[in-house]
Amino acid sequence: MKKFFVCAAMLAAMILTVSCGGGSSNDDGESSGSQVCYYGDYKCEGGNSYFCGYMDGSNDLTWKFSEQCSNGCDSWTGKCNTASNNDEKQKCTDGTYACLSDLTAITLLLPEYSIIVCRNGEWHETGEVCENGCYEEDHVFSSKDKVCKQSDGGNNEGGNNNQNGDTEVNCNNGDYTCSGDARLKCQANDWVYSETCANGCSNGECNSCTPQCSGKECGLDGCGGTCGSCDSGYDCSPAGSCLRNNSCSTHLDCLGDGMICYQGFCQSPWNKKWKVTFTSAKVTEKNKDGEAWDALGGLPDLVALMRINGEEVFRTNEVSNSTSAEWNKSATIDFAASTDTIRYHLFDADAFGGGSSSDDDTWLDSTNDEIFNFDHELDLFTYFDQNEKEVCYWDNGVTVEFFCITLEPAW
């Protein structure tokens, strides 16, 4: 089944002004013509909208000026386009039908008296033709049963003929009914489209809706609107809360939430394994008191170690009698929780001339053995993808010129 394109619909719209007959405007603003109109109907003429009503002081029907159309007049409905419906693709109401006159059918390259149906705001061919002609050419009906004439000249809807020869349907003028989400009004003994109900239609009335936004900062309100939107970098959760999304390009996208950017996503660095490497260190010739590092006047024996909550988890080898060390010693460490106290130490292993780095921690019990330490901070997790991965600390040149480590993901 083919779809009618905009160019054809625009040309047909000009032809469809015959739907209620032509005429010209007289001095009092009424449009007169030979064709009888049906009360409540609308038509387009001269780019303006006219409706069928009673002449002043008379029971005779005539076309009367309704309004001037600044956005053009819709030939199907006979009413002025608004800024929202002035799209040539939206020229009909879903579920309505029409029978094409010979001129309109020729324009759209379809057989005369073809039946068309509105779907998704556009007219589509049904492939059916009214064998006895249209009940009313180029007129929109709410049901396909009302479109075609019967052999006796009436349409498919049963009932008695009124004074204009039209077949009456079972409705009273001014009543309303529902067809899906569409609200229909009875005019001239026929159901015609009135409006589309955003929240559905029941018993001839559009359903009302109360937005449901209590406790929500984003997401749908249940009435076709929203409760708000989230800032860039945040997504709306199913519960209606704005949560930071996982995508990232730099660590700055994630650090505010205590996370890092890894493989394009914000991820927590905790409860994960990291490769920790003590790379190097350098100290001054004398200790902080300006004296030799050991009792015999020798240089320090440098060793680095890592403690978590006071417990040693990793240490390097000693570099004996030297003010500098290049260990490049690594270990895979489980960083369990952000609440842990993680500290990196630099010691002189022979400050008291006893023990060695292979012994237990008793040889480092005295604070006199420690040269320097620093605590772990969140940003230490962010250097692994930088050009300079090594992070170095110092004590402003008192004794430590640098003490360096690297951290790399091991998950």
Summarised one tens digit per residue, pLDDT across range 206-250 is 888 888 898 899 998 887 788 999 888 788 878 888 877 777 888
Query: Does residue 27 register a pLDDT over 60?
Result: no
Query: Does residue 163 register a pLDDT over 70?
Result: no
How many angstroms separate the CA atoms of 296 and 371, rounded? 18
Query: Does residue 88 register a pLDDT over 90?
Result: no
First to last CA, the chain: 56
Closest CA to 121 of 147, 148, 84: 84
Q: What is the pLDDT of residue 33?
A: 41
CA 147 to chain centroid: 42
Q: What is the pLDDT of residue 2?
A: 36
How many angstroms separate the CA atoms of 194 and 182, rounded? 7
How many angstroms separate the CA atoms of 399 and 222, rounded? 67
Query: Does residue 36 register a pLDDT over 90?
Result: no
Element (H, E) at 31: strand 30-32
Q: Dihedral, CA atoms, 76, 82, 85, 89, nearest 10 degrees?
A: 60
Query: Which tokens in the block code for residue 231?
Result: 């800032």
Beta carbons of 172 and 165 less than 8 angstroms apart: no
Q: What is the pLDDT of residue 238?
A: 80
Q: What is the pLDDT of residue 9?
A: 40
Closest CA to 104 of 5, 13, 1, 3: 13
Q: What are phi and psi of 368, to 5 degrees?
A: -65, -20
% of the chain residues with pLDDT over 90:
24
How many angstroms separate the CA atoms of 388 and 386, rounded? 5
What confidence category does residue 312 fall into, taking pLDDT thresholds of 50, 70 and 90? Answer: very high
Closest CA to 377 of 391, 387, 398: 391
What domains sit in the chain, N to C, each tagged with a CATH number? 6-146 (no CATH), 176-206 (no CATH), 272-409 (2.60.40.150)
Side chain identity at residue 195, one-letter code:
E
What confidence category does residue 317 fall into, taking pLDDT thresholds of 50, 70 and 90? Answer: very high
List the beta bridge partners of residue 331.
276
How many angstroms separate the CA atoms of 411 and 395, rounded? 33
Highest mean pLDDT among 182-186, 199-203, 266-270: 266-270
Query: Which tokens in the block code for residue 334?
Result: 């489980």
Q: What's the mean pLDDT in 35-48?
A: 72
How many angstroms separate the CA atoms of 35 and 39, rounded? 13
Q: Express the helix, strand and coil content of the chain in percent, nearest 5 each.
A: 10, 35, 55
Query: Does residue 368 register a pLDDT over 80?
Result: no
Q: What is the pLDDT of residue 152?
A: 57
Place of tokens 């039908």: 97
Element (H, E) at 8: helix 6-15
How many angstroms separate the CA atoms of 339 and 234, rounded? 26
Q: What are phi and psi of 382, to 5 degrees?
A: -105, 5
Mean per-residue pLDDT of the chain: 76
What confidence category does residue 364 fall into, taking pLDDT thresholds of 50, 70 and 90? Answer: low
Q: What is the pLDDT of residue 266?
A: 84
DSSP 57: T
How many angstroms separate the CA atoms of 173 and 187, rounded? 5
Q: What is the pLDDT of residue 188?
A: 66
How many CA atoms lie within 13 Å of 300's alpha carbon, on the beta-carbon side? 27
How many angstroms separate the CA atoms of 209 and 237, rounded? 23
**E strands of 161-226, at which residues?**
176-179, 182-187, 190-196, 201-202, 205-206
What confidence category does residue 198 fall into, taking pLDDT thresholds of 50, 70 and 90? Answer: confident
